[in-house]
Structure 1
């Protein structure tokens, strides 16, 4: 029997629980929200699917490299808990997106799919839930729709009644 390289849903839950524990130790009260998004959140993974996570913190360094260091320190804390998965031939890559609370309040196009698919793992004070609710409300006002394509992908029609020259904000 060939080794299964992609993670099972149970293994992903185990990884995410370990990540959340490590992030809380590493970031403490600076951690505001953690959400799983992408193929693992939708349940449509394939070999090579990365594990997309959105982290929101009260404050972060300005530079991307410095931001990633906090995440990487948390991942390093998990190493003893994840060695068994690697020894069984499981493979994964983290794909973190890190934002400050101020940055997260801006309705990023990233949030379009999160409004439907995000799995909130940690959300102090309902911060991210509130941001996504605001986004959903705005999308309802515009009549936004996720439009499926034959290959299983999709695109967003943000405002079906759009007229040329009209400015649309989400």
Structure 2
């Protein structure tokens, strides 16, 4: 079971990296950017912290946006029920993987912070 801050942070970052690689593999060129933020991104995650990720994708049409949102939702479900997350669950640890999904256009309109994520 995870006990110390350093081990917790390493585990949470490993989960984020694994999920990022899964997204890269499954979404390919549609995936523009993956950003880890929140307590894990800052390096001060503790037991019970969630893993916050921002995803920027290239999906210009409404049909493409819908398809990629559904695909990412399916990937999150599959990911949370396998590998390290499943192992932690079996140990009685619940780790929430939270994500915000923006298209390139939404990221450019939403907040200046996101502009560099679309290049």
Does the alignment reach a TM-score above 0.5? yes
Q: Does the alignment pair 1:37 with 2:37?
A: yes
Q: 1:28 to 1:67 in 2, by over 3 A?
A: closer
3-state SS in 2 of match to 1:106: helix
Matches within 5 A, 1:19-168: 19-59=19-59, 62=62, 68-78=69-79, 79-81=81-83, 82-106=85-109, 108=111, 111=113, 127-128=116-117
Deviates most, 62-71 or 24-33? 62-71
Q: Higher helix proportion, which one?
A: 2
Q: 1:90 to 1:54 in 2, by over 3 A?
A: same
Unpaired runs of at least 5, structure 2: none
Aligned residues: 113
What does the per-residue CA deviation read over 1:2-44, in whole Å, with 9 as the maximum and x for residues that have no partner? Answer: 875x971111122112201221232121000000011111122
The question of whether the paired residues in 1 share the 8 Å contact of 2:8 and 2:47 is answered with no
3-state SS in 1 of match to 2:45: coil
What does the per-residue CA deviation read over 1:23-79, in whole Å, with 9 as the maximum and x for residues that have no partner? Answer: 123212100000001111112234432211000001167599865422222224433
TM-score normalised by length of structure 2: 0.72
TM-score normalised by length of structure 1: 0.53
| RMSD (Å) for aligned C-alpha atoms | 3.2
User: Larger relative contact order (C-alpha < 8 A, sep ≥ 6)?
Assistant: 2
Unpaired runs of at least 5, structure 1: 115-126, 131-170
- Whose Rg is larger? 1
The question of whether the paired residues in 2 share the 8 Å contact of 1:3 and 1:89 is answered with no
